[in-house]
């Protein structure tokens, strides 16, 4: 989670106000955060957080005032119209319906 947070904060520094950040991912995507020390005989606890938590925490809390959430949907479906959309890539393979999450943020002045 530290690397992802660092990446988002570097993006914050690099992107101009008005830039739109679009994140589309599987709705089952989680970031894993390791807590504690991994010294000899010590147990490391892992916690999982939804992608939305990582994005909101980093962009709206850590980088407070630099981003606004434009859209956040944890679960959407894309369903193909089988009669109109055909994609032949081989026997038994093709396009399928899918579920996804979408999060959109806009970079603000500041």
Range of the domain at 83: 3-107
> For residue 2, is pLDDT > 60?
yes
Q: Provide the pLDDT for residue 7.
A: 95
Write down the pTM of the prediction. Answer: 0.73
8 A C-beta contact, residue 24 and residue 101: yes
CA distances (Å), origin 85, targets 28, 78, 79, 80, 95: 26, 13, 11, 7, 9
Residue 47's pLDDT is 72
State the pLDDT confidence band at 17, using cuts at 50, 70 and 90: very high
Question: How do residues 37-94 score in pLDDT, each as one tens digit?
Answer: 556 666 666 777 788 888 999 999 999 999 999 999 988 888 777 777 666 666 655 6
Question: How many independent structural domains does the chain possess?
Answer: 1
The C-alpha angle with vertex 64 and arms to 59 and 68, in degrees rounded to 5, equals 60
Higher pLDDT, 24 or 81: 24
The 10 Å Cβ neighbour count of residue 101 is 19
């Amino acid at each position: 989670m530290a690397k992802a947070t660092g990446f988002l904060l570097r993006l914050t520094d690099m992107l101009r106000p008005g830039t739109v950040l679009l994140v589309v991912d599987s709705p089952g995507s989680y970031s894993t955060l390791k807590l504690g020390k991994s010294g000899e005989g010590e147990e490391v606890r892992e916690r999982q957080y939804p992608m939305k938590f990582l994005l909101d925490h980093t962009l709206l809390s850590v980088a407070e005032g630099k981003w606004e959430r434009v859209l956040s949907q944890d679960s959407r479906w894309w369903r193909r119209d089988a009669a109109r959309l055909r994609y032949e890539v081989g026997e038994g393979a093709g396009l399928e319906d899918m579920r996804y999450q979408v999060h959109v943020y806009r970079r603000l002045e500041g």
